């Protein structure tokens, strides 16, 4: 199929402002259907769940719809979808709950590639349990996270392997399937950070070997809601801190306090939007999501080749990461200009990019760029265009 980016862009009111939104890796704009779903939930009257009146029932239906939508996006089941404010909060919650079963001398494997939200919660929970952290290292020349090293990192004391399905700065997509297989062979659980990955291609958490798959709707055209998906049978064995008075059912017992029900309606609308990206896709929503995200990925990568070739052709630009499998995410520095100055220069040309470590704390430290402001990130999502890319390249060329 030809990806109809003009049709897709018309669905996003915010894109009409003329800016090149290359900041999607930090959060996307949302289509009208998402805005309408959130407004519609409020307009129709919602209440807290568990009440005897219809508005409460409407919230319950919204929650159920949201769990089903997220399950369809990643290949899980609705009863295994934990919803919460964001991935970081949910990961801390799960790290603390899982660590309650760890013994001194147990081991946890984290990676130097990961966003800090899939590192620090594990490091801190392990320290409290007396467990040992083992680090998977990045090949700094390529930005790859070699899967082969995991054979030597996991062993009979390994309780959990935390790994990213895609780096939010380099775009690197590690071979999570291989890493997951090594972890499972050692009897360890696998916690996959899919926050960046899920926005850029089809997700099948079972094929990845993910016992837990974390994602955030605001990266894929939805509102600020996070989710962690797992097998409900696994969640039954985990006991998070919770109020005595709140539900002890799975997945509710992992969800603290009152939820943003209207936003959950927006999450469902966002998944429906993703499923519609390929208008020729047929079948149930899961099948349409897979086809649509494959189409979006192909479109993004074609555009990304132009972006990356353009950057790499400039003598004053250093682009980081050369992974064989990656998302359409560029991370670069410009000689003679710190990353913030580059971002400001581009902002004046109506190009939105991020500067800084973007929470890739360990990676930017290992690359020895963090103290100098790290780098500039320009990422593509399915609504970006060749014009956006050209404007970025022209703006960066002016700094040469
Ligand atoms: C790869 C990755 N992991 C985790 C996070 C944290 O997600 P959240 O903002 O939902 O806590 C982000 C956010 O930028 C991310 O890009």
Cα(358) to centroid(ligand 1), Å: 9
Atom of ligand 1 nearest to the CA of 216: 10
332 Cα–ligand 1 center, Å: 20
Question: In angstroms, what CA-CA distances link 341 with 18, 200, 294, 393?
Answer: 21, 28, 35, 15
167 C-alpha to center of ligand 1: Å?
Answer: 10
Which of 115, 194, 360 to mutate for ligand 1's pocket (most ligand atoms within 8 Å of CB)?
115
| Closest CA to ligand 1's atom 14 | 26
For residue 2, the model assigns a pLDDT of 83
The ligand 1 atom nearest the CA atom of 26: 14
Q: Which two tokens stand for residue 147?
A: 């899967």
Confidence (pLDDT) at 213 = 99
Q: Give distance in angstroms: CA of 400 to centre of ligand 1.
A: 32
- Placement of tokens 């600020």 in the chain: 224
pTM value?
A: 0.98
Residues in the chain: 400
In the reported structure, the alpha carbon of residue 198 is separated from the centroid of ligand 1 by a whole-number distance in angstroms of 11
Q: Which of 26, 95, 121, 168 to mutate to test the pocket of ligand 1 (most atoms within 8 A of CB)?
A: 168
Minimum-distance ligand 1 atom for the alpha carbon of 85: 10
Predicted confidence at residue 1, as pLDDT, reads: 72
Ligand 1 atom closest to 358 (CA): 14
Sign of CA dihedral 83, 87, 93, 98: positive
Residue 369, number of CB atoms within 10 A of its CB:
18
Cβ atoms of 353 and 248 within 8 Å: the answer is no
Reduce the DSSP state of residue 293 to 3 states and report it: helix
- Structural element, H or E, at residue 122: helix 120-129
Ligand 1 pocket by Cβ (under 6 Å) = 86-88, 115, 117-118, 164, 168, 193, 195-196, 216, 226, 359
Mark the ranges of the chain whose per-residue pLDDT is less than 70. Answer: none
The rounded distance, in Å, linking the Cα atoms of 45 and 62 is 12
Distance 118 CA to ligand 1 centre (A): 8
């Amino acid at each position: 199929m030809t990806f109809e980016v003009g049709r897709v862009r018309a669905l996003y009111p915010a894109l009409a402002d003329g800016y090149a939104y290359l900041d999607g890796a930090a959060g996307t704009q949302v289509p009208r259907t998402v805005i309408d779903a959130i407004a519609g939930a409020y307009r129709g009257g919602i209440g807290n769940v568990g009440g005897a009146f219809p508005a409460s029932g409407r919230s319950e239906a919204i929650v159920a719809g949201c769990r089903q939508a997220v399950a369809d996006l990643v290949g899980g089941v609705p009863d295994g979808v934990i919803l919460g404010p964001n991935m970081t909060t949910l990961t801390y919650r799960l790290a603390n709950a899982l660590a309650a079963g760890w013994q001194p001398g147990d081991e946890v494997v984290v990676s130097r590639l990961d966003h800090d939200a899939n590192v620090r919660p594990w490091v801190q929970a392990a320290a409290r349990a007396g467990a040992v952290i083992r680090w998977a290292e990045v090949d700094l020349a390529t930005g790859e996270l070699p899967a082969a090293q995991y054979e030597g990192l996991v062993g009979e004391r390994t309780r959990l392997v935390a790994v990213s399905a895609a780096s939010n700065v380099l775009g690197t997509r590690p071979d999570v399937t291989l890493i997951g297989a090594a972890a499972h062979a050692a009897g360890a659980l696998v916690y996959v950070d899919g926050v960046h990955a899920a926005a850029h291609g089809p997700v099948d958490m079972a094929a990845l070997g993910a016992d837990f798959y974390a994602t955030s709707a605001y990266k894929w055209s939805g509102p600020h809601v996070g989710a962690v998906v797992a097998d409900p049978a696994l969640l039954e064995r985990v006991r998070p801190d919770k109020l005595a008075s709140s539900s002890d059912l799975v997945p509710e017992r992992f969800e603290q306090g009152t939820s943003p029900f209207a936003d959950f309606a927006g999450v469902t609308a966002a998944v429906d939007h993703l499923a519609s990206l390929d208008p020729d896709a047929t079948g149930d929503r899961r099948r349409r999501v897979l086809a649509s995200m494959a189409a979006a990925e192909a479109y993004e990568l074609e555009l990304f080749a132009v972006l990356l070739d353009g950057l790499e052709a400039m003598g004053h630009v250093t682009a980081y990461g050369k992974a064989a499998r990656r998302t359409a995410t560029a991370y670069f520095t410009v000689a003679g200009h710190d990353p913030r100055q580059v971002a400001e220069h581009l902002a004046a040309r109506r190009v939105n990019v991020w500067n800084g470590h973007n929470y890739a704390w360990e990676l930017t430290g290992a690359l020895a760029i963090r103290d100098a402001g790290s780098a500039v990130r320009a990422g593509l999502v399915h609504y970006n265009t060749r014009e956006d890319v050209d404007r970025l390249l022209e703006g960066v060329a002016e700094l040469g």
